[in-house]
C-alpha cells in the first residue's frame, strides 16, 4: 500500500506528532511525507519527499498572528501550482494533518482524503466552544484543509472519532522532577514583552524558549534561549509548571507530565480560543493576554499548586491500524 502522510508545518505541534506517526505508518505500507509551511522549528528524523511553502500563518510579536506578513508571504500562484501538480492519484491512502496542498489536490482530483488532526476535533459538535463567535476563524477551520472523513485528537474524547493526544515517546520516557523553575513558550510574543512581564515576578525563575532570538541570554530571573525541541522537552520535564500558548501539543504534554499549566490563547487564532475553552472546562487557568492588567491570574497560578490529572494512553498504533483498515 502506498501512503501519503501530509502534515502542516506551521508551528511545531503537527511536526512533533508526525515523529511518532510516520514510523508506525511505515510498518503498514510505503510512506511518502509531505510538509508545507515555514514556521516550524523541528528537524524530522525521516525523509520528506515533498517540502512545500504551502500557506502559513506568521506569528507576530504582540500576542497574535501577523496578518500582514501572512498575506505578504503567501504566494497564491505557487500554492495553486502545487495543488494542481501534486500526484495524489499515485497513492492508495492520503492521511492529512491539517495540510492544505494535499487536501485541495484531493478535492479537485476527487480523491478521498482522511483528516487526522487536532483541528478535526475542535470543530466536532460536542467539543467545547469559545466564549465569542468568530465566523472567519470557523470558516478557516472548516475549509483550510478539507477532508472526506475526519478523525481528531483533543484533550478529552468528545465522540467516537476523537482520541486523546498523541504523546511522543520521547515525552513518555522522560524522567520527571520539580527543580523549581517555570518553562515558557509563547512564540507570539517578542522577548522584550516577555522580559517585562516575567521579571516583575521577582522570586520566580523562568526558562523561556524564543522564536525571536538565535542566541541565549539571561536578564535578571529570566533565561532566554532559542527554540530547541530536545532542550524544551527536558526543561518541561524538570519544571514546576509550564506557561504557554493555548495550542494543543505543548499543553497536552505538560498535562501528561503532571505539571502546573497556564495558557494564553493567541489573538486571532480561533482554534486556540477553542482549546482554551476545553482546558478551562478541565480546570486549567487561562490568561487573556500577557498585559499587566491580567497579572492577577499569573500571580494566582504561581501561588497555587493545582495540577490536572489526565489519562492519555498510548493508542497511536491502534488509531492508525483502524484508519488503514477502513480506508486503505
Q: Give the list of residues 6+ apart from residue 120 with CB closer than 8 angstroms, or none.
A: 98, 147, 150, 151, 152, 161, 162
pLDDT at 73: 61
Phi-psi region of 69 (alpha: psi -120 to 50; beta: other; left: phi over 0): alpha
Give me the count of residues in the chain. Answer: 328
The pLDDT tens digits for 39-75 are: 555 577 789 999 998 665 555 555 455 554 555 566 6
Strands 93-97 and 50-52: unpaired
> Grid coordinates representing 179?
527543580
Place of cell 509548571: 241
Q: How many helices (H) and strands (E) does the chain have?
A: 13, 13
Place of cell 487526522: 116
Gyration radius of the chain's alpha carbons? 19
pLDDT at 175: 97
CB 226 within 8 A of CB 209: yes
The predicted model gives 80-87 an average pLDDT of 95
Sign of CA dihedral 260, 12, 249, 179: negative
The pLDDT tens digits for 185-226 are: 999 899 999 999 999 998 999 999 998 888 999 999 999 999
> Mind listing the domains of the chain with CATH numbers?
2-167+314-327 (3.40.50), 169-303 (3.40.50.2000)
> Grid coordinates representing 309?
490529572
- CB-neighbour burial class of residue 308 (10 A; exposed 0-12, middle 13-18, buried 19+): middle
Which has the higher per-residue pLDDT, 109 or 53?
A: 109
DSSP secondary structure, 148-163, as one string: SEEEEE-SS--STTEE
Amino acid at each position: 500500500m502506498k501512503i501519503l502522510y501530509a502534515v502542516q508545518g506551521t508551528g511545531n505541534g503537527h511536526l512533533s506528532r508526525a515523529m511518532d506517526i510516520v514510523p508506525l505508518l511505515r510498518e503498514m505500507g510505503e510512506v511518502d511525507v509531505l510538509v508545507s509551511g515555514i514556521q516550524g522549528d523541528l528537524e524530522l528524523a525521516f525523509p520528506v519527499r515533498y517540502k512545500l511553502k504551502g500557506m502559513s500563518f506568521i506569528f507576530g510579536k504582540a500576542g497574535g498572528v501577523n496578518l500582514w506578513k501572512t498575506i505578504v508571504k503567501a504566494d497564491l500562484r505557487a500554492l495553486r501550482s502545487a495543488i494542481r501538480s501534486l500526484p495524489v492519484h499515485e497513492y492508495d491512502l492520503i492521511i492529512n494533518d491539517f495540510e492544505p496542498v494535499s487536501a485541495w489536490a484531493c478535492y479537485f482530483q476527487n480523491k478521498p482524503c482522511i483528516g487526522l488532526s487536532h483541528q478535526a476535533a475542535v470543530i466536532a459538535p460536542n467539543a467545547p466552544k469559545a466564549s465569542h463567535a468568530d465566523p472567519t476563524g470557523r470558516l478557516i477551520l472548516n475549509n483550510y484543509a478539507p477532508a472526506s472523513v475526519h478523525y481528531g485528537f483533543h484533550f478529552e474524547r468528545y465522540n467516537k472519532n476523537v482520541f486523546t493526544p498523541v504523546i511522543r515517546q520521547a515525552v513518555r520516557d522522560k524522567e520527571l522532577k520539580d527543580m523549581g523553575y517555570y518553562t515558557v513558550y509563547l512564540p507570539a510574543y517578542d522577548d522584550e514583552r516577555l522580559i517585562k512581564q516575567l521579571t516583575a515576578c521577582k522570586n520566580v525563575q523562568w526558562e523561556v524558549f524564543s522564536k525571536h532570538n538565535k542566541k541565549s541570554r539571561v536578564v535578571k530571573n529570566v533565561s532566554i534561549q532559542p527554540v530547541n525541541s530536545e532542550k524544551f522537552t527536558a526543561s518541561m520535564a524538570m519544571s514546576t509548571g509550564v506557561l504557554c500558548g493555548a495550542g494543543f501539543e505543548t499543553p497536552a504534554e505538560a498535562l501528561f507530565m503532571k505539571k502546573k499549566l497556564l495558557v494564553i490563547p493567541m489573538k486571532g487564532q480561533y482554534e486556540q480560543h477553542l482549546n482554551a475553552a476545553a482546558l478551562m472546562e478541565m480546570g486549567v487557568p487561562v490568561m487573556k493576554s500577557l498585559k499587566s492588567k491580567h497579572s492577577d491570574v499569573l500571580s494566582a497560578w504561581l501561588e497555587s499548586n493545582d495540577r490536572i490529572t489526565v489519562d492519555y494512553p498510548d493508542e497511536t498504533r491502534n488509531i492508525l491500524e483502524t484508519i488503514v483498515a477502513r480506508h486503505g
